[in-house]
Amino acid sequence: MIQYTKLQHKKVLVLGLAKSGVAAAELLHELGAFVTVNDSKPFDENPQAQGLLEKGITVICGRHPEDLLDEGFVLIVKNPGIPYNNPIIEDAIGRGIPVITEVELAYLISEAPIIGITGTNGKTTTTTLLFEMLQRGNRNPLIAGNIGTVACGVAREAAEDNVIVTELSSFQLMGTVAFKPKIAILTNLFDAHLDYHGTFEEYAKAKFAITKNQDENDWLIYNAGQDVVKELASKSKARKVPFYSDGRTNEGISADAATIYWQGEPFIERKIIALPGKHNLENILASLAACILYGCDKNALEQVLCTFTGVRHRTQFVREWNGRKFYNDSKATNCLATKVALDAFTQPTVLIAGGLDRGHSFEELRLSMKNVRGVVAFGQTGERFLEFAKSCGVEEVVLAQDVEDAVLQAARISKSGEVVLLSPACASWDQYKSFEIRGDLFIEAVMKL
């Protein structure tokens, strides 16, 4: 860890706890700052705050005092989920107090280079795949950010010969000032989190923060198939590596139906790849490009590609049973995510869908239902989804009680050679506390068949 001294004996406020706040507070304390933590959860119900108090950190819990900023703080480290219209944040900005997220701290103290991955979709798969490739290629990677451990916690332990692979959200990137990854990856951009950012332009601006400080010594890997991403990439000063999933090109990394190419030359045959779907091909291209820049051995990359079947709950292959292949895509809590999952398969599919009813339409899925032969629906939207499936001409539709019953029904109506896909297009909260629990129960039911 680099011994960053600019905050020594300076007052710093950590706003909001959770994992990132605790890690930031502990790191700042170690760097010699006078740390105050403010969290809305009452102290008696807040074991994280209690642990920080035992270490000598000032803790204010259960309220946000109006005069909190009168203490003379020189910096605020906020939880990424706290919006910028929060009264304390607005007050801090008005006073000229810098507001950052813990990702900025990670950069300031890290001895290891950082690979940052952001985008609307594909971040977790790209991050995980890249980590496994670098690990197989003996590049000593560590994984951090939204997946794995808090970035500044990983950076505390990282050495020069490590590389930190970091998944980054727009919320985290908005709170960066000097952050400058050695390699940045921008997977794609779609409308998302507009309740937080206000407009798509502000959302895209937040994502651009991943490359805004990069220079000619750094790399930007980006999706050249999206005009909005290409436009953002054109503003970066980094060396650029575009990826293309729709045919061979002479620049960057590209793919046609049979082959992946590096700078126009054949690199890897696609038939060895275990992970299905065009969206995953884009994730693979981005990951491969970073590994090539890092000098990983081609054989190591191929070994990962032929065995990697996806991140848990994200078009994750579970097992083959009586000729049917079961996939868990419980993370698909909206129609766009389910559309992407359906488009990944060309085989006849039995779709398991449904969940919390927010009154949203399923029309976005209509064109992607062409290979869906059967639908098993459950949850609050179960009957509504079945009506939609019938309007699409789906051959068999069944209503199930829950995800476990849905597995049994799908096993009954599916045929050998077909895919059974859990991709709910709805949140889980009508029946399950999280999409992870829903996906885990799906996996358990499939394994019991």
Residue pLDDT, tens place only, 123-158:
999 999 999 999 999 999 999 987 778 999 999 999
**In this predicted structure, what is the pLDDT of residue 69?**
95
How wide is the angle at C-alpha 173 spanned by C-alphas 99 and 255, nearest 5°?
175
pLDDT interval class at 278 (50, 70, 90) = confident
**In this predicted structure, what is the pLDDT of residue 103?**
97
Q: Which amino acid is at 376?
A: V
Which H helix or E strand runs over 18? helix 18-30
CB proximity list for 53: less than 8 A, separation 6 or greater: 59
**Is residue 31 within 8 Å of 2, Cβ to Cβ?**
no
pLDDT interval class at 403 (50, 70, 90) = very high
**Is residue 313 within 8 Å of 329, Cβ to Cβ?**
yes
**In this predicted structure, what is the pLDDT of residue 192?**
73
**In this predicted structure, what is the pLDDT of residue 310?**
82
Q: In this structure, which topology does domain 104-305 adopt according to CATH? A: UDP-N-acetylmuramoyl-L-alanine:D-glutamate ligase (3.40.1190)
Q: Which amino acid is at 295?
A: G
Q: In this structure, which topology does domain 11-100 adopt according to CATH? A: Rossmann fold (3.40.50)
In the chain, where are the structural domains located? 11-100, 104-305, 316-448
Q: Is 349 annotated as a binding residue?
A: no
Q: Is 199 annotated as a binding residue?
A: no
Confidence check: pLDDT of 51 > 80: yes
Using the Cα atoms of residue 146, residue 147, residue 150 and residue 154 in order, give the sign of their dihedral: negative
Pairs from 41-48 (Cβ < 8 Å, separation ≥ 24): 41/17, 46/17, 48/17, 48/18, 48/21, 48/22
**In this predicted structure, what is the pLDDT of residue 191?**
79
Mean pLDDT of the chain: 95
**In this predicted structure, what is the pLDDT of residue 285?**
98
pLDDT tens digits for 374-385? Answer: 999 999 999 999
**In this predicted structure, what is the pLDDT of residue 145?**
80
Return the CATH number of 316-448, one of 1.10.760.10, 3.90.190.20, 3.90.226.10, 3.40.50.300.
Answer: 3.90.190.20
**In this predicted structure, what is the pLDDT of residue 206?**
94
**In this predicted structure, what is the pLDDT of residue 149?**
87
- Angstrom distance (rounded) from CA 63 to CA 435: 31
Here the tokens at position 392 are 């699409």
Using the Cα atoms of residue 395, residue 400, residue 405 and residue 407 in order, give the sign of their dihedral: positive
Confidence check: pLDDT of 99 > 80: yes
pLDDT interval class at 207 (50, 70, 90) = very high
CB proximity list for 205: less than 8 A, separation 6 or greater: none
- Angstrom distance (rounded) from CA 170 to CA 168: 7
What integer is the mean pLDDT of 348-359? 96
**Is residue 274 within 8 Å of 309, Cβ to Cβ?**
yes
- Angstrom distance (rounded) from CA 442 to CA 329: 10
- Angstrom distance (rounded) from CA 305 to CA 268: 10
- The CA distances from residue 158 to 110, 147, 181, in Å, are 7, 17, 15
Q: Is 122 annotated as a binding residue?
A: yes
Cross-strand partners of 99: 76
**In this predicted structure, what is the pLDDT of residue 290?**
98
Provide the 8-state DSSP code for 295. Answer: T
3-class DSSP state for residue 185? strand
pLDDT interval class at 311 (50, 70, 90) = confident
Cross-strand partners of 258: none
Q: Is 120 annotated as a binding residue?
A: yes
**In this predicted structure, what is the pLDDT of residue 96?**
96
- Angstrom distance (rounded) from CA 345 to CA 366: 15
**In this predicted structure, what is the pLDDT of residue 279?**
84
pLDDT interval class at 399 (50, 70, 90) = very high
- Angstrom distance (rounded) from CA 258 to CA 102: 42
Cross-strand partners of 320: 325
- Angstrom distance (rounded) from CA 79 to CA 102: 8
Q: Is 124 annotated as a binding residue?
A: yes
**In this predicted structure, what is the pLDDT of residue 338?**
95
Here the tokens at position 91 are 């007050």
What integer is the mean pLDDT of 111-115? 98
Q: Is 121 annotated as a binding residue?
A: yes
Name the phi and psi angles at 326, rounded to 5.
-100, 130
What integer is the mean pLDDT of 185-209? 90
Q: What percent of the chain has pLDDT over 90?
A: 90
Confidence check: pLDDT of 63 > 80: yes
Q: Is 333 annotated as a binding residue?
A: no
- Angstrom distance (rounded) from CA 13 to CA 429: 34
Considering only the C-alpha atoms of the chain, give the largest distance between any 2 of them, rounded to a whole number of Å. 70
What integer is the mean pLDDT of 37-46? 94
Here the tokens at position 417 are 């050679």
From the list 283, 285, 361, the residue with the least C-alpha distance to 315 is: 283
- Angstrom distance (rounded) from CA 38 to CA 195: 24
